[in-house]
Amino acid sequence: MKYSSKIYVVLIISAFQLHLTTAPPPQKKVPETFDFVIVGGGTAGCALARRLSDSGEHSVLVLEAGILPHLDLDVPALVPNFLSNDKYVRTYSIPQEDGRIMEYKVGRTLGGGSSVSAMIFNRGHPNDYNTWAEITGDRSWRYENLLKYFKRTENYDGIYPSNQHGRDGPITVTSSKYVPLLDEWLGAGQFLGYPVADPNGPQTISFCPVEYAKRLGRHVSSYTGYLKPVLGLRPNLKVVLEAEARKIIFRRNQAVGVQFRSNTDGIPSDNVVYARKEVILSAGAIETPALLMKSGIGPKHVLEAARIRPIKYLNVGQNLQDHIATPLDIVINNRSLAFIEENNLNPQTWKDYNETGDGPYASYGGIGGQAFISTTSQGNQTNIPNIQLFHLGSPKIAGLFEEKLEIHKAEWEVNTMIFAELTNPSSRGSVTLNVTHVNSSPLIDFQYFTNPADLEIMIDGNLKHEIFTKIYKFKVGFIFESLIY
């Protein structure tokens, strides 16, 4: 379609890497024209900038609204401390019909979400990609055709070496020795008849250890894996920080540049940069559609209400999908088995971490076990998971949720959590503009559980979860309490 031939909206599965040297700071002086202008230096943007600048033949500019990642983001156990820091994380407040306010957090730093994530490295199920191939009529989206790209990303150092994994990529994928309650988790799954399998080899119905994007115990991000090793060393690659894109510039329906506001030396200024070849949008699931609408590509009623000159009427911002999860609590009758921040993060474990790259400081809230299961609501499609389980071997994660003090327990007990998450939600939400203040925060509505199938699957998944937890109780010595909310 001629109106979108020069705009690429990019979705890349989060993946992460670390280099321990300090990179030079990104340059803030922007030449007027580049071959490629990338809006958003997140998970996708960092990988794109590296790949497009590899040959040295093309000039590349990255516009990133955030700043450099803090050095403490390299340490997994310290990452949650930044989830409420608006220098590195943007929090959207989303009003709900019952009066509550839901928070939705995204990374606002180079590396984006990959810089503030739990490091979980999952490719997804082959059926997801094969479905995309069917919808588009393009077989290149099939899993077997994408596998070479997955492998190119990886520097695999996990416990499942096979021809499904790469060895020379920028993203180190590994396992941890310190994983609270992992053996019990996998044992409970095996007792119920589930195999223990590689979560990416490819993904199947199974119980699995989590594989992490870490190197020597340090948090791996798209920034540290792709961009940091070459930043400041390539004359054809520039990054501008604290640069918020305001509008795509069109010439005869072709994208030729970007208007952005920068904050150099604390003084806001409006700027324009042009692209000889392509403007690439990788600003995330919220800001990418918002920028398109602000630029004149979006639903007719939104553009008219915001008095934006239309370039093309399209249903931009519709079909928003998110993986909602239900937390269920498990009370452990031995606190020493869990990850307790106040107990496990201390000078001795810090010393051990720096010597071995493992231990409590290498853990993000004690996350370690996962499972992919299929509920009876899927009928005969038992080989395709529709629920993913995550075990959190800790009572809390700073910046996300606190320990539930209302759960009655003895001094030697502690509650941990299992999250049951929809893998393929059918409910669809939307992102749109605040038409009276188009440069303010977009209006987001996820419409969770508006499709009855999602609620049926979640209830079914929780019933399976309760059966599993009763087995888990005997494996670990748990008292079980289920809180669905």
Beta-carbon contacts of residue 216 (< 8 Å; ≥ 6 apart): 18, 20, 357
pLDDT attached to residue 456: 87
pLDDT attached to residue 406: 76
- Asked if residue 477 has pLDDT above 50, the reply is no
pLDDT attached to residue 463: 61
265 band by pLDDT with thresholds 50, 70 and 90: low
Alpha helices in 161-200 (DSSP H): 182-191
pLDDT attached to residue 411: 81
471 band by pLDDT with thresholds 50, 70 and 90: low
pLDDT attached to residue 464: 61
- Asked if residue 192 has pLDDT above 60, the reply is yes
Four-CA torsion 95, 96, 102, 108, nearest 10 degrees: -50
- Asked if residue 380 has pLDDT above 70, the reply is no
pLDDT attached to residue 381: 53
pLDDT attached to residue 400: 77
Of 54-58, 171-175, 462-466, where does mean pLDDT reach its minimum?
A: 462-466
20 band by pLDDT with thresholds 50, 70 and 90: very low
Six-digit token string for 18:
């670390």
Cα three-residue angle 351-339-75, rounded to 5 degrees = 45
Q: What residues does each domain of the chain span?
A: 2-70+222-316, 176-211+322-431+436-480
The share of the chain scoring above pLDDT 90, in percent, equals: 65
Mean pLDDT of the chain: 86
> Tell me, which fold does domain 176-211+322-431+436-480 have in CATH?
Glucose Oxidase; domain 3 (3.30.560)
pLDDT attached to residue 111: 97
pLDDT attached to residue 226: 97
Q: In this structure, how many other beta carbons lie within 10 angstroms of the beta carbon of residue 436? A: 8
Q: Between residues 98 and 178, which one has the greater pLDDT?
A: 178
Which of 83-97, 396-410, 411-425: highest mean pLDDT?
83-97
pLDDT attached to residue 36: 98
466 band by pLDDT with thresholds 50, 70 and 90: low
Asked whether the beta carbons of 449 and 154 are under 8 A apart, the reply is: no
CATH match for 2-70+222-316 among 3.40.50.300, 3.40.50.850, 3.50.50.60, 3.60.15.10? 3.50.50.60
Burial bucket for residue 481 (CB in 10 Å: 0-12, 13-18, 19+): middle
- Asked if residue 108 has pLDDT above 60, the reply is yes
pLDDT attached to residue 470: 55
pLDDT in tens, 282-327: 999 999 999 999 999 999 999 999 999 999 999 999 999 999 988 8
pLDDT in tens, 233-254: 999 999 999 999 999 999 988 9
pLDDT attached to residue 10: 39
